[in-house]
Amino acid sequence: MLCYNCGRNLSEHDFCTSCGADVSIYKKIMHLSNRFYNDGLEKAQVRDLTGAINSLRQSLKLNKNNIKARNLLGLVYFEMGEVVAALSEWVISKNIRPKKNIADMYINMIQTNQSRLDSINQTIKKYNQALAYCRQDSQDLAVIQLKKVLSLNPKFVRAHQLLALLYIEAGEWEKARKELYKCGRIDSNNTTTRRYLKEVERMLAPEEGPAKGVVGKRRGISPDVIKYQSGNETIIQPVNGKEKKGISVLVNMGIGIVIGLAAAWFLILPARIQMAQVAMDEELRTIGDQSDAKTATIDEMEQQVKRLTEEKTQLEAQLENYVGTDGTIQASDKLIAAANEYLASEGDAFKVSEYLDEVNMDELEDTASESFIMLYDTLAAMIGPELAQTAYDEGYQSYKDGEFAEALPKLAKAYQYDETNGDALFYLANCYKETGNVERAKETYAQVIELFPGTLKASNSQTYLAELNDEN
């Protein structure tokens, strides 16, 4: 571990033996950063990629120069199919440590393999097209594009999740479950995947119905008897009796007929009616239970549709931040192109600025990731001084020649890359005034007064601003 003040190796003491700086807290921060890195490494080994990302980000918050954590974070992003985020981390890592950095190998692995690079570009374009189709409510076309994306990049977790969400909206629960299982094999602890899968499993669970009784024969009863129910009593009668000869037989037969008719009238018939009534009541209860279950299922489905509709609305709102000429996706393409140009041209500031100028950070402030902002700031810092000075020299020359329209963009770029150049801002305000853009001139003069108080250009700006206000 090196001292933050002098860069010398630290000993076991709480102070630097070279410069005497107090390093007790610094050591604790570094140790904590390494603990988060080790935790992220362990989670990555068991494919808990979401947990690994969270741990590695914590590590980098404590020590942004933790090269091992940053390179591992890039690998985790790459494993999830997030190639843009992976390249961002590796480019930042290379900028922090230009030599003896494994990030060189990762970047070269992509840049030297033209087919892989083309595949990555196609993946990004097709995924963007799928998002556009979702925005246009063309789910079928979006599904086709996402399948093409996954054929090129099978580990792209976000593509799997979006495809599963489209299947859920279409009611194709089994297909959605298969896509979510694929996500789980890539990233075992992704919260979005788990939330979607919970809903799918709930919809695929079998519906519980009323239990049906099973009617069976009672054992131990002779087949030679008849059994019937009379009210709450069970009556058993023999099927065949011995025939009696003579008059007694006839008498007994007559008596039996009379008794049978009476039993049918007073016992059997009421019992049958009661049994029919009980069966009807049971059937009505069954139908009622089934109706309640169906009603509950319908209510649940309506709630599910409501939740999915709300989620769809949220996704459409998010698409506004990703699609379009100034969206995050297009901005990411330009930023990656700028990084590639910086590496390929060995730091040609003007070539890099052609791509970097197309990234509007003011509109992306709320949607851009931490890695995106850091990569942009890093590239701007590397090309800024040279670009700012050249732009100012050219802009000032055009200003002196009276070519105010030509001087405007040059002076604006000079101040964009060097906000300490008050002269560039002052001459920019003058150009606005000379070209008739009074409102922008007023705003820019006000900036000069606020940012550079007590200077000659601030005093002149107050005079010019007062003149413009009097004219209006």
CATH number of domain containing 148: 1.25.40.10
- Report CA 446 to chain centroid distance, whole Å: 42
| Residue 2 to residue 27: CA distance in whole angstroms | 10
Tokens standing for 23? 């390093």
Residues 132 and 105 in one domain: no
Helical spans, DSSP H, in 323-437: 328-344, 349-356, 370-400, 404-417, 422-434
Rounded to an integer, what distance in angstroms lies between the CA atom of residue 427 and that of residue 134?
Answer: 47
Are residue 351 and residue 247 in the same domain, yes or no? no
Are 93 and 71 in contact, with CB atoms under 8 Å apart? Answer: yes
Q: Tokens 């329209």 sit at which residue? A: 405
Q: Give the mean pLDDT per block of 10 residues along the chain (472 residues).
A: 70 73 80 90 88 91 90 90 87 89 86 76 85 88 89 88 90 90 87 88 65 38 48 50 46 55 50 62 69 70 78 67 56 74 69 74 65 76 83 92 93 89 93 93 93 92 90 72
Both tokens of residue 258?
A: 């009379």
CB 16 within 8 A of CB 5: yes
Whether residue 321 is contained in a domain is answered as: no
Measured CA to CA, the distance from residue 79 to residue 99 in angstroms comes to 25
Same domain, 347 and 460: yes
Burial class (CB in 10 A: 0-12, 13-18, 19+), 215: exposed
Tokens of 429: 């305000």
Same domain, 335 and 459: yes
Q: CA 429 to CA 108: how far, in whole Å?
A: 45
Phi, psi of 5 (to 5 degrees): -95, -50
Task: Compute the distance between CA of residue 225 and CA of residue 218 in angstroms, rounded to an integer.
Answer: 13
In a domain, 439, yes or no: yes
pLDDT of the residue at 249: 47
* 319 inside domain: no
* 411 and 387 share one domain: yes
pTM of this structure: 0.43
Q: So what's the pLDDT on residue 460?
A: 92
Asked whether residue 219 is domain-assigned, the answer is: no
Total structural domains within the chain: 4
Torsion angles phi and psi, residue 243, rounded to 5: -75, 135
Contact 59, 37 (CB under 8 A): yes
Do 71 and 128 fall into the same domain? no
309 close to 104: Cβ distance less than 8 angstroms: no
pLDDT of residue 314: 73
Distance (Å, whole) CA 338 – CA 354: 8
Do 108 and 188 belong together in one domain? no
**Residue 186 in domain:** yes
- Structural domain including 263 reads 225-309
Within this chain, do residues 419 and 333 fall inside the same structural domain, yes or no? yes
DSSP E strands, 220-311: 225-230, 233-238
Radius of gyration of the chain (CA): 40
* SS3 state of residue 188: coil
pLDDT of residue 270: 55
> In the prediction, which pLDDT does 15 show?
73
